[in-house]
């Protein structure tokens, strides 16, 4: 029996947990506090699934790229504690205003997740709650520079090269692993990008960074992507462009699931 969740396996047929590696989701969950205003957010079903699958009630979910707070709201809905970081103060303040967990804590930090100093604050938060570790980490970084999230220097969407992006992402991973309980789970949500006529497999590169840090890969989920706002309603233009060239249109992204157990590559 898993010791990392509250699923009742005597009633497994009724479980709402998805166990396939292909996720086709046509509609985002817009209930509760999820309004989807933030360009570059992920759908609430993603943190919902992983919080249920990989944590028990009152454990701690961690997100070093809070954005509009999708993970924070799901943690609140599912009675989990939450610690999160984002480099943009306005976003952190906005999410803070909307969070009001009843019997749990939700602590949001403004800072750069690549920096050890920022994680010192996260460790301080843990200490204040008399905890040492988080039990689940969900990382949804910028997909390199596809969407510019801010003008801030430390923002991963302002990195100038793939090398710089991967170094910074690796720093976030390293900091996260330090506070993640041993044998618990870390999830990365990432898509690829296309630059100057070349497909850049960001998903595979990020997978590699996680493996270099000793995480054990448990699953790769392929999830459909229903066009971003710029692409929505322009399907035929993109199809024409693809047909008149030699590439395929992005319709998927990756969800990479790792266990924090040593694995030597």
Contacting residues toward ligand SAM, per CB under 6 A? 38, 40-42, 64-65, 67-68, 70, 85-88, 91, 112-114, 140-142, 149-150, 154-157
Summary count for the chain: helices (H), strands (E):
7, 10
Residue 143 in tokens: 């997909």
At residue 106's C-alpha, the angle toward residues 31 and 258, to 5°, is 80
Residue closer to ligand SAM, measured from CB, 201 or 216: 201
> What distance in Å separates the CA atoms of residue 45 and residue 48, rounded to the nearest whole number?
5
Contacts of 139 (CB under 8 A, 6+ apart): 63, 64, 65, 172, 173, 176, 186, 187, 188, 189
Closest approach of ligand SAM to the CB of residue 52, in Å: 17
Residue closer to ligand SAM, measured from CB, 133 or 150: 150
Closest approach of ligand SAM to the CB of residue 174, in Å: 13
Residue closer to ligand SAM, measured from CB, 149 or 258: 149
Closest approach of ligand SAM to the CB of residue 61, in Å: 12
Residue closer to ligand SAM, measured from CB, 97 or 130: 97
> What distance in Å separates the CA atoms of residue 49 and residue 166, rounded to the nearest whole number?
27
Closest approach of ligand SAM to the CB of residue 11, in Å: 30
Closest approach of ligand SAM to the CB of residue 2, in Å: 25
Residue closer to ligand SAM, measured from CB, 107 or 112: 112
Phi-psi region of 130 (alpha: psi -120 to 50; beta: other; left: phi over 0): left
Closest approach of ligand SAM to the CB of residue 17, in Å: 20
Residue closer to ligand SAM, measured from CB, 42 or 258: 42
Q: Which residue is associated with the tokens 């509009």?
A: 68
Are 41 and 26 within 8 A, CB to CB?
Answer: no
């Amino acid at each position: 029996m898993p010791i990392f969740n509250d699923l009742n396996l005597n009633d497994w047929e009724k479980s709402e947990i998805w166990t396939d590696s292909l996720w086709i989701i046509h509609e985002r969950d817009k209930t509760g506090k999820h309004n989807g205003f933030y360009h570059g957010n992920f759908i609430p079903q993603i943190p919902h699934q992983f919080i249920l699958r990989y944590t028990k009630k009152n454990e701690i979910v961690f997100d070093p790229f809070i954005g509009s707070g999708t993970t924070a709201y799901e943690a609140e809905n599912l009675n989990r504690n939450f610690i999160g970081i984002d480099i943009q103060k306005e976003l952190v303040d906005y999410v803070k205003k909307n969070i009001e967990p009843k019997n749990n804590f939700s602590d949001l930090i403004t800072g750069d997740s690549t920096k050890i100093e920022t994680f010192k604050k996260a460790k301080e938060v843990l200490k204040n709650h008399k905890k040492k570790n988080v039990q689940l980490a969900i990382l949804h970084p910028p997909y390199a520079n596809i969407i510019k999230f801010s003008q801030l220097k430390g923002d991963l969407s302002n990195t100038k090269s793939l090398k710089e992006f991967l170094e910074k992402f690796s720093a976030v991973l390293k900091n996260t692993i330090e506070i993640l309980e041993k044998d618990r789970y870390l999830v990365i949500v990432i898509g690829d990008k296309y630059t100057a006529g070349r497909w850049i497999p960001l998903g595979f590169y990020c997978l590699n960074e996680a493996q270099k840090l000793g995480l054990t890969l448990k699953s790769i989920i392929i999830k459909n992507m229903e066009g971003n706002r710029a692409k929505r309603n322009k399907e035929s233009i993109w199809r024409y462009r693809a047909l008149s060239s030699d590439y395929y249109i992005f319709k998927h992204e990756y969800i990479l699931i790792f266990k924090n157990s040593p694995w030597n590559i």
